[in-house]
Structure 1
Amino acid sequence: MGPSAPDRPAPSPWILRFAPLVAADAGCVLDLACGSGRHGRLFLANGTPTLFLDRDLSGVEDLRGAAGAELLRADIENGPWPLAGRHFDAIVVTNYLWRPLFTQIIAALQPGGLLLYETFMRGNERFSKPASPDFLLVENELFERCRDAFDIVAFEQGEDSAPKPAMRQRICAIKR
């Protein structure tokens, strides 16, 4: 059983800010590396079908069988991309970075689809994990990876104090 609501981390203010850009009649949202599903649950609560993907689904098991929820267990770092041929109206990724997936993530978004991505960047090693450069974006990396295929709605990077001090990078972008 997944964590109860009081034990579940609060949704990111960045995701909350831009979630309304997902159309009310959106076909499906992907919560990639979903963890407890704190972001996918926002869309599901608004009636948007949501696919929760992670290698460990224990944080979202309470959603199994819920209307509009699809749970997919997959090790996307060591196995094949499990979503070949599927397309989403929005993809949400937070606190996760596996650079080899950027091409698949971009390809999985419908034209007009929304990418909401927020994760750690270089400099975070001063505060906590992750500290390895393999899991920290370099300056402007999300912007550079998105600029050719997306219209950038908003981009931020730098030190952030909430929910705890960290170096983060965030982007909200619409696929052309």
Structure 2
Amino acid sequence: MSQRAKWNARYASAELPTVKQACEVLRRNTGLLPEQGRALDLACGLGANALLLAEYGLEVQAWDLADSALEKLGAAASQLNLATALSTLQRDAETEPPEPSSFDVIVVSRFLHRPSLPALAQALRPGGLLFYQTFNRDKPAGGPGNPDFLLEPGELLAVFSSLQLRFYQEYGRTGDQQYGNRHETLFVGQAPR
């Protein structure tokens, strides 16, 4: 089964996304969003991040490999009167990363393709923001088991060292594991102006 078919099958029976389902790093840091500009929800899945970005007044593109997810996102955007602010595109983020200096905001949630990471920093316009959240190796349990899809400790800090750090969280197995998001690394970086 192709990757496209796999993800289309996964999203075919999913419910429509809501703004409340946007990733934690974006929800916690909406105060950093610009008042206007172009935003990208990369490998968007059902696109809850795209809905939140559009709700905040940004011109949003949502890219994903799965047509079924993009159809549901389009329907949700229409229901929320956000369709004019949001466009979808069936695009493989692994083979077609965003072009340099093309976005003011990029959000990536639960997607990791290491060869594409440098292109994300380059795709930011001056002062642009990258919101990134995905699973890490120091997680107590849950998430993917394949190490190719798990961040190393401090990996995003190293890969995006050209960006000014605005927010970072990586709890892992430290302290009382009943509190906080222990499974994922959260990062916000800003391109130099």
| TM-score class normalised by the smaller sequence | 0.7 to 0.9
Q: How does 1:39-54 map to 2 (within 5 A)?
A: 39-54=49-64
Tell whether the 8 Å contact from 2:166 to 2:188 is kept in structure 1 after alignment: yes
**Which residue pairs with 1:70 in the alignment?**
87
Larger strand fraction of residues? 1
2:135 counterpart (92, 117, 120): 120
User: Percent identity at matched positions?
Assistant: 27
Deviations 1:69-110 (A, max 9, x none): 121111233x3x253356100000111100010121111110
Q: Distance in 2 between matches of 1:82 and 1:101?
A: 6
Residue identity matched to 1:95: R
User: Gaps (5+ residues) in structure 1?
Assistant: none
Q: Residue 134 in 1 paired to residue 148 in 2?
A: yes
Q: How many residues align?
A: 169
TM-score of the pair, normalised by structure 2: 0.77
Q: Residue 94 in 1 paired to residue 105 in 2?
A: no
Q: Residue 15 in 1 paired to residue 21 in 2?
A: no
Question: Structure 1 residues 36, 5: closer, same or farther in 2, change over 3 A?
Answer: closer
Tell whether the 8 Å contact from 1:3 to 1:59 is kept in structure 2 after alignment: no
Question: Structure 1 residues 58, 117: closer, same or farther in 2, change over 3 A?
Answer: same
3-state SS, counterpart of residue 39 of structure 1: helix
**Which residue pairs with 2:184 in the alignment?**
168
Residue identity matched to 1:17: R
Q: Which moved more, 1:13-22 or 1:154-163?
A: 154-163
**Which residue pairs with 2:165 in the alignment?**
152
Residue identity matched to 1:89: D
Residue identity matched to 1:105: L
TM-superposed CA distance for 1:57, in Å, is 3.5
3-state SS, counterpart of residue 158 of structure 1: coil
Q: Distance in 2 between matches of 1:173 and 1:87?
A: 16
RMSD: 2.5
Q: Which runs of at least 4 in structure 1 moved beyond 4 Å after TM superposition?
A: 160-163
Q: Distance in 1 between matches of 2:59 and 2:118?
A: 23
Q: Residue 35 in 1 paired to residue 52 in 2?
A: no
Question: Structure 1 residues 142, 10: closer, same or farther in 2, change over 3 A?
Answer: same
Q: Distance in 1 between matches of 2:102 and 2:45?
A: 21
Q: Distance in 1 between matches of 2:24 and 2:97?
A: 29
User: Gaps (5+ residues) in structure 2?
Assistant: 1-11
Q: Distance in 1 between matches of 2:132 and 2:178?
A: 18
3-state SS, counterpart of residue 14 of structure 1: helix
**Which residue pairs with 1:4 in the alignment?**
16
Q: Distance in 1 between matches of 2:20 and 2:35?
A: 25
Tell whether the 8 Å contact from 2:54 to 2:85 is kept in structure 1 after alignment: yes
